[in-house]
């Protein structure tokens, strides 16, 4: 099965997760949305990954979904998001991805996130500092490798 992994990444977390998937799937190609010029109809499976910022998916991913909605409805598609606050992950999908695409998805899940101030710039850095001050210190924000492994297993079946 030919797989195309399309992702957007601002600080590298989503790219890191996409790379884990790419390394474990056979016949897969990983493409940053900035460089996306692949004909998605050449692929059997499309995996789409995006960060969540202030409850929203990456605007380039959103545009890609809308532009390709009919093709995506007829394909095997899987979605993953990277976010620091996983308790809201299902609502992020419901608010950002058309219902008919979600209903047709093989899987959609959260892979957690990272809050690395070194990778933040400008307003994002300010927000990250504010959020980290108000975050429960016992709640670790990290990539959820067990979710990635479960996701890959389902795709590889």
Given a cut of 80, is residue 117 above it in pLDDT? no
Q: What is the CATH number of the domain that holds 138?
A: 3.40.50.360
Around Cβ 65, how many Cβ atoms within 10 Å? Answer: 20
Residue range of the domain that includes 121: 3-156
State residue 131's pLDDT score.
52
Q: Report d(CA 93, CA 141) in Å as an integer.
A: 19
Distances (CA, A) of 71 to 41, 45, 49, 101, 105: 7, 11, 17, 10, 13
Residues of the chain with pLDDT > 70, as a percent, come to: 83
138 compared with 62, residue with greater pLDDT = 62
- Segment 106-135 shows an average pLDDT of 64
How many domains does the chain fold into? 1
- Say how many Å lie between the first and final Cα of the chain, rounded: 10
Both tokens assigned to 8: 């957007």
Query: At 37, phi and psi to the nearest 5?
Result: -140, 20
Say how far residue 83 (Cα) sits from the centre of its chain.
9
State residue 76's pLDDT score.
97
Residues of the chain with pLDDT > 90, as a percent, come to: 71
- Indicate the pLDDT class of residue 10, thresholds 50, 70 and 90: confident
């Amino acid at each position: 099965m030919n797989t195309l992994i399309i992702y957007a990444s601002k600080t590298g977390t989503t790219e890191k997760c996409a790379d884990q998937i790419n390394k474990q799937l056979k016949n897969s190609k990983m493409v940053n949305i900035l460089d996306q010029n692949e004909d998605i109809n050449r692929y059997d499976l499309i995996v789409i990954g995006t960060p969540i910022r202030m409850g929203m998916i990456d605007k380039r991913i959103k545009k890609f979904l809308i532009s390709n909605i009919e093709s995506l409805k007829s394909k095997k598609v899987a979605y993953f998001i990277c976010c620091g606050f996983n308790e809201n992950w299902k609502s992020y999908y419901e608010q950002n991805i058309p219902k008919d695409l979600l209903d047709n998805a093989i899987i959609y899940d959260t892979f957690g996130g990272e809050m690395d101030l070194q990778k933040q710039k400008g307003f994002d850095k300010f927000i990250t500092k504010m959020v980290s001050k108000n975050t429960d210190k016992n709640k670790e924000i990290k990539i959820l490798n067990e979710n990635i492994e479960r996701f890959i297993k389902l795709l590889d079946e």
